[in-house]
Structure 1
């Protein structure tokens, strides 16, 4: 075994993840997250974005409760708060 073969084999084990393993191009195309180096600014941006989206959905859910009431005026002219009724009920 030559010196190049020994050092090449050692490099395969020193490379983290699957970047040093012999794989097919199809496997690399289907699983790029296994071979791409992590990018911390992109991960931080994604985490902030997902957090804001979930927060916004929670806000919309909380505001949905307030939208089910509306102010109505009955035949006597009094203002009443009524719950919206569905057309399907």
Structure 2
């Protein structure tokens, strides 16, 4: 297998038109690399799985809190214009 030159003298083994992934061959400033690290760091699957599980648990907990609040609304006994009593949930003027 022959080596093919890429960029500034960097060689890729095998070199049949394959490029290195990412922006490792592009000249950038340190500020650009600091602001956009995801372009230069190799993906880490265990960290991605942990992040996905953490986000899912957070969204699930928020949904649970919302459901508990909805179910916990207080009921009161109301009387309609015909004098019949019925139970009703308390509502605000904003609903």
Q: Write the mapping of 1:54-69 to structure 2, written as runs, cut at 5 A.
A: 54-69=59-74
Is 2:22 aligned against 1:17?
A: yes
Higher strand share: 2
Higher helix share: 1
TM-score, normalised by the number of residues in structure 1? 0.65
Work out which of the residue numbers 34, 51, 65 in structure 2 matches 1:29: 34
Gaps of 5+ in 2: 13-17, 78-86
Gaps of 5+ in 1: 1-5, 73-80
Moved over 3 A (4+): 81-86
State the distance in 1 between where 2:67 and 2:74 align. 13
Q: Number of paired residues?
A: 75
Is 2:42 aligned against 1:42?
A: no
1:47-86 CA distance string (max 9 Å, x none): 00000100111111111112212589xxxxxxxx664566
How far does residue 14 in structure 1 lie from its aligned partner after superposition?
2.4
TM-score, normalised by the number of residues in structure 2? 0.62
How far does residue 21 in structure 1 lie from its aligned partner after superposition?
1.2
RMSD, matched Cα: 2.6
